[in-house]
């Protein structure tokens, strides 16, 4: 019913999935993994909403952007839906990622089993501090930052994780971009400047706490939020 790409001259409307929906797809994907593990064959939008932490209307609307994968009166086939979402997210093979900055946080990320389990492979660990080189973290050695370009090239790394202090972050981002990385997950509190075409997501741990602080502080003004 929906064409992927118009074949003509005009690369007109490529059925754009809303950003808000994309941000939720991973949660559906994870919920479906759990359902599959529990040998559940089908799931309704209501149940899926519960498992993923949203509401049924949102689930149906979100899934409708991917295509028509449900069966009226029945629900969605767990395996098929998971496969479709995984394909949309590009999880059909595991992306190699590098982690730059092997401090406490970098070490934790390096050994986080959730990455491997959900479509990602740690290709290398890098740190600018030469005294860390060779040190083992999990099953990987720490390598000097100067190896970055080589590693990205040979391992076809597409995603870089920055776990350095804020002051080093822009520098690392520049190096990643120069090496060809076009997706960056930034755990430093710094705001990164990157050229057009490079995607950046930031997770600032203190920001999350400060937002909670706001709701805690204003608790009585109005109800809490999720």
Query: Which residues inside 44-83 make contact with DNA, applying CB under 7 A?
Result: 44-46, 54-58, 60-61, 63-64, 68-76
Residue 152 beta carbon to DNA: minimum distance, rounded to whole angstroms: 31
Q: Indicate which of a copy of itself, DNA, none lies near residue 74 (CB less than 5 to 8 Å, by partner kind).
A: DNA
DSSP secondary structure, 78-141, as one string: HHHHHHHHHHHHT-SSPEEEEEE--SHHHHHHHT-HHHHHTTEEEEEEEES-GGGTT-EETTEE
Q: Indicate which of DNA, a copy of itself, none lies near residue 60 (CB less than 5 to 8 Å, by partner kind).
A: DNA
Q: Which is nearer to a copy of itself, 69 or 112 (CB)?
A: 112
Stretch that binds DNA, among 3-11, 38-46, 167-175, 191-199 (CB under 7 A): 38-46
Q: Indicate which of a copy of itself, DNA, none lies near residue 226 (CB less than 5 to 8 Å, by partner kind).
A: a copy of itself
Q: Which is nearer to DNA, 46 or 147 (CB)?
A: 46
H or E element in which residue 207 lies:
helix 205-217
Q: Is 200 helix (H, G, I), strand (E, B) or coil?
A: strand
At 28, list the tokens.
């559906």
Q: Indicate which of DNA, a copy of itself, none lies near residue 41 (CB less than 5 to 8 Å, by partner kind).
A: none
Residues 17-36 that bind DNA (CB under 7 A): 18-21
Cα 117 to Cα 180: distance, rounded to the nearest angstrom: 25
At 98, list the tokens.
């590098």
Cα 200 to Cα 159: distance, rounded to the nearest angstrom: 10
Listed residue (175, 174, 181, 177) closest to 159, CA to CA: 181
Residue 213 beta carbon to DNA: minimum distance, rounded to whole angstroms: 18
Which residues of the shown chain bind DNA in the complex (CB under 7 A)?
Answer: 18-21, 43-46, 54-58, 60-61, 63-64, 68-76
């Amino acid at each position: 019913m929906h064409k992927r790409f118009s074949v003509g001259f005009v690369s007109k409307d490529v059925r754009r999935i809303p950003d808000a929906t994309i941000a939720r797809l991973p949660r559906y994907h994870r919920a479906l993994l759990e359902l599959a593990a529990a040998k559940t064959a089908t799931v309704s939008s209501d149940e899926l909403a519960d498992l993923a932490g949203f509401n049924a209307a949102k689930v149906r609307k979100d899934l409708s952007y991917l295509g028509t994968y449900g069966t009226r009166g029945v629900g969605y086939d767990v395996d098929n839906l998971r496969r479709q979402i995984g394909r949309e997210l590009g999880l059909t093979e595991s992306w190699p990622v590098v982690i730059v900055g092997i401090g406490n946080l970098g070490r934790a990320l390096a050994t986080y089993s959730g990455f491997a389990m959900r479509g990602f492979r740690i290709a290398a660990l890098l740190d600018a501090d030469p005294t860390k080189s060779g040190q083992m973290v999990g099953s990987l050695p720490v390598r000097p930052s100067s190896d970055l370009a080589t590693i990205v090239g040979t391992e076809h790394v597409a995603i870089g994780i920055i776990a350095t202090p804020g002051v080093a972050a822009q520098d690392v981002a520049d190096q990643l971009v120069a090496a060809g990385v076009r997706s960056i997950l930034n755990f430093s509190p710094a705001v990164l400047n990157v050229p057009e075409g490079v995607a950046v997501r930031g997770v600032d741990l203190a920001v999350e706490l400060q937002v909670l602080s706001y709701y805690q502080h204003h608790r009585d003004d109005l109800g809490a939020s999720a």
